[in-house]
């Protein structure tokens, strides 16, 4: 099995949102909901037997490119891929926000009570 990229131009209907996606040979996810399907072992080879839905779980915004991370719902495999200018920017930011919330927990719900900071007690005689 080759580790080289195989360009395969295919159109597909998104399994998650139903959008009709016109492939360009580099397209591997829906530009609307950013979901994909686990069909490749190496890009374009269609060698994966899993076929599970790959949900977006992370986004890395770099100076030259944006990289999306998918996780397969069926087998758990994670894959990274570049985004496309056609990808929905609001969806990318929603994935980034959800990933930040899940990993840091710093974005609490506005009604979630937050304990006030504790005051340090002075030692007796100080």
Digitized pLDDT (tens) for each residue of the chain, 126 residues in all: 455 777 878 888 999 999 999 988 888 899 999 999 998 888 878 888 888 999 999 999 889 999 999 999 999 999 999 999 999 999 999 999 998 887 655 444 444 444 555 556 666 666
Within a domain: residue 19? yes
Question: What is the helix (H) or strand (E) element at residue 56, kind and residue range?
Answer: strand 53-61
At 24 the pLDDT is: 87
Instruction: For residue 20, count CB atoms less than 10 angstroms from its CB and return exposed for 0-12, middle for 13-18, buried for 19 or more.
Output: exposed
Q: Are 54 and 37 in contact (CB under 8 A)?
A: yes
pTM over 0.85: no
Within a domain: residue 88? yes
Domain that holds residue 79: 12-103
Task: Report which of 50, 27, 34 is spatially closest to residue 88, judged by C-alpha positions.
Answer: 34
At 112 the pLDDT is: 46
Within a domain: residue 94? yes
Within a domain: residue 1? no
């Amino acid at each position: 099995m080759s580790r080289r990229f195989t360009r395969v131009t295919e159109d597909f209907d998104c399994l998650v949102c139903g959008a009709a996606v016109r492939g360009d040979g580099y397209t591997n996810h829906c530009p609307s909901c950013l979901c994909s399907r686990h069909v490749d072992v190496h890009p374009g080879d269609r060698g994966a037997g899993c076929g599970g839905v790959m949900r977006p779980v992370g986004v890395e915004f770099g100076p030259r490119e944006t990289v999306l991370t998918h996780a397969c719902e069926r087998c758990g495999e994670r894959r990274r891929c570049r985004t496309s200018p056609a990808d929905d920017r609001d969806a990318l930011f929603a994935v980034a926000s959800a990933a930040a919330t899940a990993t840091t927990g710093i974005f609490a719900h506005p009604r979630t009570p937050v304990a006030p900071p504790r005051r340090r007690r002075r030692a007796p005689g100080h």
